[in-house]
Structure 1
Amino acid sequence: MTHKRSRVQRVRWVKARNHVRELNRQQAAHRIRDLRKRVEHLFAEAKEWHGLRRARGRGLWCVQSQILLTAITQNLKRMAHVFHRHNPAGEAVMPSPLPETLHRFRLPSISPSFS
Structure 2
Amino acid sequence: RRSDAADIATLRSFIPAADDDSLSWRLALSEFLLEVAAIARSARLARELIRLQADLGTLTLLPCADTGYRGRTAVILGDVAAAIETHDPGAAETGVKALISATTDWLLTEQAKSY
Question: Is the TM-score greater than 0.5?
Answer: no
TM-score by length of 1: 0.31
